[in-house]
């Protein structure tokens, strides 16, 4: 597995950190999520950021609190603010560009 399953508390802690953190949200039966999961494995190897994943079925209130419209979804946060929600996992370069657009200093 590329990342740990994060609890809501682990996500909140990572989200509030001064550096970028990523939370990949999925459901096990979602075909598109399975493709996105493979992309996230590669992305995790490229970026030096905290990356967690969560099955939305077990994250009580997360969808409402963050107004998540569908899965897969990638939340990109820093200092307590979710700056981006990515629903279209178009390509690895696309995801890197989106992450970089939030904060250039975070990618190594």
Model confidence pLDDT, tens digit, residues 16-58: 999 999 999 999 999 999 999 999 999 999 998 999 999 999 9
Q: What is the pLDDT of residue 67?
A: 95
Is the per-residue pLDDT at 1 higher than 50?
no
Q: What is the pLDDT of residue 108?
A: 43
| 60 vs 34, more confident | 34
Structural domains of the chain sorted by starting position, each given as residue range(s) with its CATH number in brackets: 8-98 (3.40.30.10)
Closest to 88 measured CA to CA, from 35, 45, 11, 10: 35
Cβ atoms of 98 and 83 within 8 Å: the answer is no
Handedness of CA 38, 101, 59, 6 (dihedral sign): positive
pTM: 0.91
80-90 per-position pLDDT tens digit: 999 999 999 99
């Amino acid at each position: 597995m590329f990342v740990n399953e994060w609890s809501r508390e682990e996500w909140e802690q990572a989200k509030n950190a001064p550096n970028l953190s990523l939370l990949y949200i999925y459901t096990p039966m979602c075909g598109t999520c399975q493709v996105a999961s493979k992309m996230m494995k590669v992305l995790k190897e490229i970026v030096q950021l905290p990356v967690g994943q969560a099955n939305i079925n077990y994250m009580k209130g997360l969808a409402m609190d963050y107004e998540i419209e569908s899965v897969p979804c990638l939340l990109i946060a820093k200092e307590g603010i979710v700056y981006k929600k990515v629903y279209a996992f178009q390509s690895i370069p696309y995801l890197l560009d989106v992450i970089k657009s939030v904060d250039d200093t975070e990618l190594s």
